[in-house]
Amino acid sequence: MIQQCFEFCSHEKSAEKGKSTPAKRPPKRSTRKPPANTTAANHCPADGKKIKELQASVKSLQADKQALVRSLEASRTRVKYFESEVASLQRQNALLWAKKEVTGKYSIPPDMLNRLIRLSHPDRHGNSPASNEATAWLLAQRQKK
């Protein structure tokens, strides 16, 4: 392939000079393998533009890959955070259900219930219908215990 590129380039050069030279017979190909690490210097100048385009494309793809890796790591961090939040909420939910099963209802602690009754008492609110209703409900909650 390199030989073909060389012949192609030599034809281009001779055509540029305006000389018409017959194509030279290519030398016999050897049975040796070409070196494994061929560089851009081994290629035809016509391929140089293509090589530069490919190198630019590779650099662009590598930058895209790095951005995706950073985004993936950030997403993994968020997933771990949300997994811990879910676990915490599941524990809280289990505790609430256990409390409900023990008491049979969600209850207001007795000291808080007494405080709420004192704060909503009709004597403090001009005997308003709302305070009468709230106090009656709170007293009913205290009697259920």
Q: How confident is the model at residue 137 (pLDDT cuts 50, 70, 90)?
A: confident
Q: Pick the residue with more confidence: 95 or 5?
A: 95
Give the chain as a DSSP string.
Answer: -HHHHHHHHHHHHHHHHT---PPPPPPPPPSSPPPSS--GGGS-HHHHHHHHHHHHHHHHHHHHHHHHHHHHHHHHHHHHHHHHHHHHHHHHHHHHHHHHHHHSS----HHHHHHHHHHH-GGGTTT-HHHHHHHHHHHHHHHH-
Whole-number average pLDDT of the chain = 78
Q: Pick the residue with more confidence: 22 or 91?
A: 91
Question: Each residue of 5-61: pLDDT tens digit?
Answer: 555 555 555 555 555 555 566 666 666 666 665 554 565 666 888 999 999 999 999
